A and B are shown apart, each in its own frame.
Chain A
């Protein structure tokens, strides 16, 4: 089946191109946004033939710098694990993208494909399973560096990531109950339907943020905590632990930890967009064209245009969520370690359980 193979290669290529480039650019975006928020100018150098493009070439300069730097391994470090750790941190974050749909079906030359690399039945669970492996990268980095700061960072990270993984999973149970599936394409597709009250179509799409508002906020909080960024960045708290678990890293390996963090931001944004913001869905836009609300009028659009608009909408949602996370990062001060644990176990976890019970009652009542 050559058509299928071409589609698959195209999808894998697109996902890799998108995620890796986005991760690189995000490094610049973060510096620029923090500068804007703190009334500074920020990265504006790195010219190519005198063109600076508001500093957009900085990621390129960073990469060249990291590649040419000395790759230093501390004398008493565990060499194998010290080298392996950044890979274990980065690869799972990239793999998680395989199950996230970035668009509806695409039809070219009579061949149709779903715009997702692997449309797994276990969907969200696969993302969690793969992301849980990324914890080893952080923990091993902390242990193998033979440095007390790294060790403390690794310990904090392992406890924090373990706690918030459980919380993240529980907050999503309500979503699974509403849409009756773990498969991300099915969850996204189900969000294209409209709320119907007493036989009246309201034309309000069933997005996750409307059916599960509590889960949305809980999941977003837990996801930010899982990515170990401010206000949850005790694992790399600069003011107490130098750089936490990656204190002893230099050159490209340092950059890999840094990239892993940005890829994780993209994964979280894509996951939230798919689960709570309708994925590729645009309200009132269906495969056959734009349905005008409260009427039976359909403005017909070619299917290729609809597919492309879906991909665009998905990217738009991802960008908005990335912006939101960056803003949170540069707005809030760091929590204390015990506060993070209390938030996870004593506030978000019970609320998630309440959400599951409430959702159960509502689903039961509506399905009678």
Chain B
């Protein structure tokens, strides 16, 4: 199990880095798909099978296909993808990220290891997830539904204005 964690963990990090470093937008998007896939595998290792499948279905499947669809429609030319020169903001953001990673490393190295308790048989199953969503987390669930509905209405309004 632990070896698998290292395999998929490093795969996720490596493809995440590649996604940022690649200039070709399709290559970057495909690297993001690999990241999503590795994250799904990590969820499986945590016994969260339902989340893993939803991660694949929604992020790796639907959303990334939409991304690639849009990139293909834009059809960017090579000269549009050339770097525009590095400015002050780039330097600052890299420095901030490096600082945050150093802080995280320090924090993690100080944290004592916690022995893992074995999880229940029903843990992470579809039924269990549904029970939690519709009992303890009903209010956040409904709020998120309204948020998504608002986003859908917004998307329709934006698309409609362009068409008329």
Contacts and interface: CB of A to CB of B under 8 A. Distances in A.
Interface of A: 78, 81, 120-122, 125-126, 128-130, 132-133, 135-136, 139-140, 142-144, 151, 154-155, 158-159, 161-162, 165-166, 182
Given A159-B69, A162-B69, A132 B62 contact: yes
A166 B127 CA distance: 21
Q: 4 closest pairs, A vs B, by CB? A: A132-B61, A129-B56, A129-B57, A125-B53
Given A128-B61, A165-B62, 16 more contacts: A120-B49, A121-B127, A128-B57, A132-B56, A132-B57, A132-B60, A132-B61, A132-B65, A133-B61, A135-B61, A139-B69, A140-B26, A140-B30, A144-B26, A155-B72, A161-B65
A125 B57 contact: yes
A185 B64 CA distance: 31
Interface of B: 24, 26-27, 30, 33, 37, 49-50, 53-54, 56-57, 60-62, 64-66, 68-69, 72-73, 125-127
A182 B128 CA distance: 13
A31 to B, nearest CB: 32
A81 B49 contact: no
Contact of A136 (B33, B53, B126): B33
Contacts of B73: 155
A332 B62 CA distance: 29
B49 A165 contact: no
B69 A158 contact: yes
A133 B69 CA distance: 14
Contacts of B127: 121
7 contacts: A121-B125, A125-B53, A129-B54, A133-B60, A151-B72, A155-B69, A158-B65
A136 B29 CA distance: 11
Contacts of B30: 81, 136, 140
Contacts of B66: 162
A122 B53 contact: yes
Given A81-B26, A154-B72, A129 B65 contact: no
Nearest to B68: A139
Contacts of B27: 81
B65 A125 contact: no
A279 to B, nearest CB: 19
Nearest to A131: B61
B130 to A, nearest CB: 10
A171 B13 CA distance: 37
Contacts of B125: 121-122
A182 B126 contact: yes
Contacts of A129: 53-54, 56-57, 60-61
A130 B56 contact: yes
B46 to A, nearest CB: 14
Contacts of A155: 69, 72-73
A155 to B, nearest CB: 6
Contact of A121 (B37, B49, B57, B62): B49
A122 B50 contact: yes
Contacts of A154: 72
A158 B68 contact: yes
A151 B75 CA distance: 10
Contacts of B69: 139, 155, 158-159, 162
B139 to A, nearest CB: 22
A135 B64 CA distance: 10
A325 B35 CA distance: 36
Nearest to B24: A78
B65 A135 contact: yes
Contacts of B72: 139, 142-143, 151, 154-155, 158
B126 A122 contact: yes
Contacts of A159: 69
A132 B127 CA distance: 23
A125 B61 CA distance: 12
B128 to A, nearest CB: 9
Contacts of A128: 57, 61
A144 B64 CA distance: 17
B26 A162 contact: no
A125 B49 CA distance: 10
Contacts of A120: 49
Given A81-B30, A139-B68, A162 B53 contact: no
Given A132-B56, A132-B60, A182-B126, A143 B65 contact: no
Nearest to B40: A129
Which has the most chain B C-beta neighbours within 10 Å: A122, A126, A135? A122
A267 to B, nearest CB: 16
B57 A139 contact: no
A143 B125 CA distance: 38
Contacts of A130: 56
A122 B124 CA distance: 10
Contacts of B68: 136, 139, 143, 158
